């Protein structure tokens, strides 16, 4: 069932999502060679809890195995999504996609950003740039009167025209009092098809894009998803409210990019 949000509910969603953006900015300060993903997770969880919220990912149930053990998903290089923070040390030339969720004042926040660790290959940087562009192109279609297929088509066309793969098995989603609500929001589709978008619908749009084949594999931990061909993948995500004429982006990359400066994608 799809729940349209009131203006007051959208403002509560905005508060949770802006906290995600600020949390990711704290993570951005630490992303460099020699840092472990466990260190990123520790800082994020402390920051979230210090601001009166809880990390929604921690303890999230899994039909394939154990609940998620951390506050962030940290997916490195060929990992697409749901990487588990641990003792893996970031090294020069890596990329790490950091997905973060919060729960505050009864509503959820959800956003993701892919960071470069030091200097990365130009082709990898292009993957990140195109994925981020695709996110905003998708958001341009999150307006009343369009359909979910318009969002997916826009993302798919931009990424595939740049010779990148679009993951099919994992998609965006509705968001509100629950982190995952209806409808699903694919990063592929046909223009004019799918659920009609109405003002007040809040969704997380999150392109998951691969450097090579779009085929994926799930690791034995039951969470981490990687590319089948071991090529890199990127992930950017915003939570938005469908508007009449223009989407309202409830999350923010501004805090992150203030930290990154000219190193931002």
| 155-178 pLDDT per residue, tens | 999 999 999 999 999 999 999 999
The arrangement of secondary structure in 5-261, i.e. its CATH architecture, is Alpha-Beta Complex (3.90)
For residue 183, whether the previous peptide bond is cis, meaning omega lies within 30 degrees of 0, is yes
| Helix-strand-coil split of the chain, %, nearest 5 | 30, 25, 45
- Residue 65's pLDDT band (cuts 50, 70, 90): confident
- Residue 205: pLDDT over 90: yes
**Positive or negative torsion for Cα 65, 70, 71, 77:** negative
Record the tokens describing residue 129, joined without a space: 């740039």
Residue 8 among known ligand-binding residues: no
CB atoms within 10 A of CB 144: 16
CA distance 125 to 115: 10
CA distance 94 to 32: 9
Write down the pLDDT at residue 64.
78
| 134-158 pLDDT per residue, tens | 999 999 999 999 999 999 999 999 9
Q: What is the mean pLDDT of residues 105-109?
A: 97
Record the tokens describing residue 178, joined without a space: 């629950």
- Taking a C-beta distance cutoff of 8 angstroms, is the pair 107, 176 a contact? yes
Q: What is the mean pLDDT of residues 52-62?
A: 97
Write down the pLDDT at residue 168.
98
Q: What is the mean pLDDT of residues 17-26?
A: 98
CA distance 168 to 186: 7
- Residue 63's pLDDT band (cuts 50, 70, 90): confident
**79-81, strands of its sheet edge to edge:** 79-81, 225-227, 216-218
CA distance 103 to 249: 18
Residue 158 among known ligand-binding residues: no
Cβ neighbours for 17, distance < 8 A, ≥ 6 positions apart: 102, 109, 110, 111, 239, 250, 251, 252
- Taking a C-beta distance cutoff of 8 angstroms, is the pair 131, 265 a contact? no
Write down the pLDDT at residue 146.
98
CB atoms within 10 A of CB 236: 25
Residue 82 among known ligand-binding residues: yes
Residue 9 among known ligand-binding residues: no
Record the tokens describing residue 184, joined without a space: 């699903």
Residue 180 among known ligand-binding residues: yes
Q: What is the mean pLDDT of residues 45-63?
A: 96
- Taking a C-beta distance cutoff of 8 angstroms, is the pair 235, 80 a contact? yes
Cβ neighbours for 84, distance < 8 A, ≥ 6 positions apart: 68, 69, 70, 73, 74, 221, 223, 224
Say what the pTM is: 0.98
CA distance 201 to 224: 29
CA distance 74 to 88: 10
């Amino acid at each position: 069932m799809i729940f349209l949000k009131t203006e007051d509910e959208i403002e509560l969603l905005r508060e949770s999502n802006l906290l995600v953006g600020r949390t990711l900015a704290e993570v951005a300060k630490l992303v460099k060679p020699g840092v472990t993903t466990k260190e990123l997770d520790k800082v994020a969880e402390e920051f979230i809890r210090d601001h009166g919220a809880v990390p929604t990912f921690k303890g999230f149930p899994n039909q394939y195995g154990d609940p998620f053990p951390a506050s962030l998903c940290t997916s490195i290089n060929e990992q697409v999504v749901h990487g588990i923070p641990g003792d893996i040390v970031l090294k020069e030339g890596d990329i790490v996609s950091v997905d973060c969720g919060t729960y505050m004042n009864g509503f959820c926040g959800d956003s993701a950003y892919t960071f470069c660790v030091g200097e990365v290959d130009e082709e990898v940087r292009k993957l990140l740039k195109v994925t981020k562009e695709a996110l905003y192109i998708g958001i341009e279609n999150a307006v009343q009167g369009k359909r979910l297929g318009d969002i997916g088509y826009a993302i798919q066309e931009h990424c595939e025209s740049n010779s990148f793969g679009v993951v099919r098995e994992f998609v965006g989603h509705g968001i509100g009092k629950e982190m995952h609500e209806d409808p699903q929001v694919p990063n592929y589709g046909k223009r004019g098809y799918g659920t009609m978008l109405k003002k007040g619908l809040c969704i997380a749009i999150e392109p998951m894009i691969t450097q090579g084949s779009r085929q994926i594999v799930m690791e034995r931990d039951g969470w981490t998803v990687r590319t089948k061909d071991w090529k890199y993948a990127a992930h950017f995500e915003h939570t938005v409210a469908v508007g009449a004429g223009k989407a309202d982006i409830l999350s923010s990359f501004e805090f992150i990019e203030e930290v990154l400066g000219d190193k931002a994608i």
